[in-house]
A = this chain, B = another copy of it.
Amino acid sequence: MNRIRTGMIGGGQGAFIGAVHRLAMRFDNRFDLLAGALSSQPERARQSGLELGLAPERCYDSHQAMLQGERGRADGIEAVVIVTPNHLHFAAVRDCLQAGLHVICDKPLTVTSAEARELQALSQAQQRQLIVTYTYTGYPMLREMRERILRGDLGALRLVHVSYTQDWLATPLEQQGQKQASWRTDPAQAGAVGALGDIGVHAYNLSHFVTGQRPSRLSADLARLVPGRRLDDHAQVNCRYANGARGLIVASQVAVGRENSLRVQVVGEHAALEWVHEQANLLQWFPLGQPGQTLSRGGPGCGDDVRRLSRVPSGHPEGYLEAFAALYRDAAELIQHGTPCPVLPTVDEALHDQLFIEACLRSSAEDSRWVSL
């Protein structure tokens, strides 16, 4: 299968989200990262690119340089992934679309709706895809939730409650110079909203993702609960839908005890569904007047899309793959550098396990007699 020739803007050394995008690109091996404008600092851009195995001439200083350089190549990039700070998204997306590239952009796409409208029109005019990585929409059981709601299993909807709560901004980290906190709480860099834009938008996005519906009216209360904070760190938004249904969006970054809690509850006239991030492999299904059911990713009752998306069998939490990859990471260290790794299973483990099995067979064959190992 041909892979998509891809470039990246932003995401140089030390950038968390850029590395996550690249890892996600490798999962199914359908993208080749071939070019990058990974930093606005030329030397850092170059070093970052080389580390990732890019050809030196395809490590660019700016996205403009990349667009120009790639245009002339037979093997030039077809798509671009944008992982710059939020306020730089707009220009990068615009330029890439104009250059005829497909764009995958980290969320939020823009900081104003006017900019979003302009990019929407441009994407249509250029007939190029513009994709925004709202990560949570990729969870198989949220897709199952959506499927059940859209095909009418719940009847008319009545309640759509989504909350996204964290606690990492419960203290004024920005006053201690913590980088992530600083830009997120600074109106100059983050725009007019804090928690609402950072995580509330995920909650709102999911409320539409799973129901296919948007509220017609809302009443919002944005709060700055940590003294000295300059943007909202907590928001409660009541919503009303055209059919009278009620919505509630809660976003908080001061909810002590919640690391990254996302909870989606949709209630209809005949049934309800609930999903929580902490148990992302499960979906609770409550048919009115019957016992509640727990659906497990890929288990009985799940639709085809869940099966298509599942990389590991039902009952394996999705972290199973990370566990697998952790072994490969340790193995690479051991093989390349000879770094001893006491936790990496080797033949010694395998031998002992085989001795255990053989002892079990002896004991069981002799009516469970105690045998030595």
Contacts and interface: CB of A to CB of B under 8 A. Distances in A.
Contact of A370 (B214, B240, B265, B373): B240
Given A269-B170, A373-B217, A260 B316 contact: yes
A60 interface: no
A72 interface: no
A91 interface: no
Contacts of A9: none
Interface string A292-318: 111110011100010001011111111
Given A332-B30, A353-B204, A360-B237, A345 B296 contact: no
Given A331-B104, A371-B217, A256 B272 contact: yes
Nearest to A351: B116
Contacts of A102: 335
Interface in A270-326: 270-272, 274, 277-281, 284-286, 288-296, 299-301, 305, 309, 311-326
A255 interface: yes
A258 to B, nearest CB: 8
B291 A272 contact: no
A220 B285 contact: no
7 contacts: A131-B345, A139-B323, A217-B372, A222-B360, A226-B269, A259-B315, A291-B294
A15 interface: no
A238 B238 contact: yes
Contacts of A286: 167, 256-257
Residue of A20, A336, A351 most packed against chain B (CB within 10 A): A351
A317 B314 contact: no
A35 interface: no
A110 interface: yes
Contact of A322 (B26, B112, B311): B311
Contact of A146 (B135, B236, B343, B356): B343
B364 A220 contact: yes
A132 B347 contact: yes
Contacts of A331: 104, 129, 131
Contacts of A42: none
